Amino acid sequence: MKISSILLALIFMTLAPNSQNNLILNDTGNMSFELIKEKIIIPVQIGSNTYKFLLDTGGIFEISEKLQNEFNFNQLESTTIVDINRKEIEMQTVKVPEISLGNWKFKDRKAIVSNLHSKYPYSCFELDGMIGRDFFNQVLLHFDYANNTFRLTENFNAIALDKSSRTKMKFSRRGLPDIKVKINSKKEYIEFDSGSGDFYSPKTSDVERKLVNACENEILKFQGEFSFGVTMDNIEPTNRYIQKVENFQLANVNFINFYSQFSKVSAARIGAAILKYGKVTLDYKNRWFYYMPYSKSQMITSFETFGFDVAIENGYYKVKYILKNSKADELGLHSGNRILMIDDISTQNISENCEGYLNGYDFKDKQIIKVTFLDKQENEKSIVLNKIKYR
């Protein structure tokens, strides 16, 4: 080949567009988020205003009735969904022409319209909607709780990732990312559901199979009401369990000797609470889950309880659930009991208590409490309870 031909070829290669470099990669950039009661709350822009949305890897795109009334988005055919209690509900569906997450604009997105955000206790979050799994196709989803930033990007070179800090990820039948972990030396895949506030929750049926051979305090049994779902219908009392975990290995990080959160009926879960302990990145394209701890020593807070928990219903505190064989259980406190006072402070005429729901009720900070309640025969009864600590 002549020298002139070589020079022409080099010039052409220099001037020719590089398809990789010119490829437009969508990227939100680093965005702020809040972790409120272990729920990931992010800013979403619609039109010229910014709104608060829940980010839920297990959820779908949803807007509040308030937002729909404000924008009057075009309505589509209704959609039937199944809530956490496996109850079907028909939801209005609309098309949202454009929303922005940082620098990334999403166009013509189908969303369901929900009134859930206006009902207590969900109203405490003051949310306008939810960003769900249909936004996470072929992307990196990154969380850095220490800096309160998250990022959604198609640029897989945008975030520095350490291969030694990753574990395999696949997708469940429900479309959630399943993360490979090792629990008490057993390898398994667990759903990562950022809409769940838990660190780790086992599956109820798995725990029940271990009950016969369980040692004392290895499995804690609770009975009562635990969730209401999208329909907000009352549900029958059920049993849920908290299980002692000797070793929980996520990527190359070990969490040792802690108690799980309440078991789940549908599947075991890893939730947003893990964000407090390290950076989390989900590679939806290549199916890897990265976890980079903030500290070499990973300690989970010990579990403490008076043997029961409360919810507000019809203007008063009621017992949600009870720890079986606890002093509260032995002294006659049961799920559904109406609580009149805690330490001689009335728990009546309360429409809602967002401070208590989001940050914990004041009585939970004490070591000893007196509970006055109505038993099953509607007789007033007072009992004294000491806080139980499980480590």
List the pLDDT tens digit at each of the 391 positions of the chain: 444 443 334 333 444 444 445 578 999 999 999 999 999 999 999 999 999 999 999 899 999 999 999 999 999 988 777 665 566 778 899 999 999 999 999 999 999 999 888 888 889 999 999 999 999 999 999 999 999 999 999 999 999 999 999 999 999 887 889 999 999 989 999 999 999 999 999 999 999 999 989 999 999 999 998 865 544 455 678 999 999 999 999 999 999 999 999 999 989 999 999 999 999 999 999 999 999 999 877 778 889 999 999 999 889 999 999 999 999 999 999 999 999 999 999 999 988 889 999 998 999 999 999 999 999 899 999 999 999 999 8
Instruction: Report the SS3 class of residue 77.
Output: strand
Helix (H, G, I), strand (E, B) or coil at 1: coil
Residue with tokens 């369990």: 241
Q: Is the dihedral of CA 73, 79, 83, 87 positive or negative?
A: positive
Residue 165 backbone phi and psi in degrees, to 5: -105, 25
User: Architecture of domain 303-390 in CATH?
Assistant: Roll (2.30)
Would you kindly state where each structural domain of the chain is located, as residue ranges? 31-151, 162-293, 303-390
Distance CA 260, CA 241 (A): 9
Q: Do domains 31-151 and 303-390 have the same CATH topology?
A: no
- Long-range contacts: 253-258, Cβ < 8 Å, 24+? 253/165, 253/278, 253/291, 253/293, 253/298, 254/298, 255/298, 255/300, 256/298, 257/391, 258/199, 258/299, 258/300, 258/301, 258/302, 258/303
Residue of 216, 226, 312 lying closest to 262 (CA atoms): 226
What CATH number is given for 162-293 in this structure? 2.40.70.10
Question: What is the CATH topology of the domain spanning 31-151?
Answer: Cathepsin D, subunit A; domain 1 (2.40.70)
This prediction has a pTM of 0.89
Residue in the block written with tokens 């000491």: 386
Cα(108)–Cα(100) distance, integer angstroms = 12
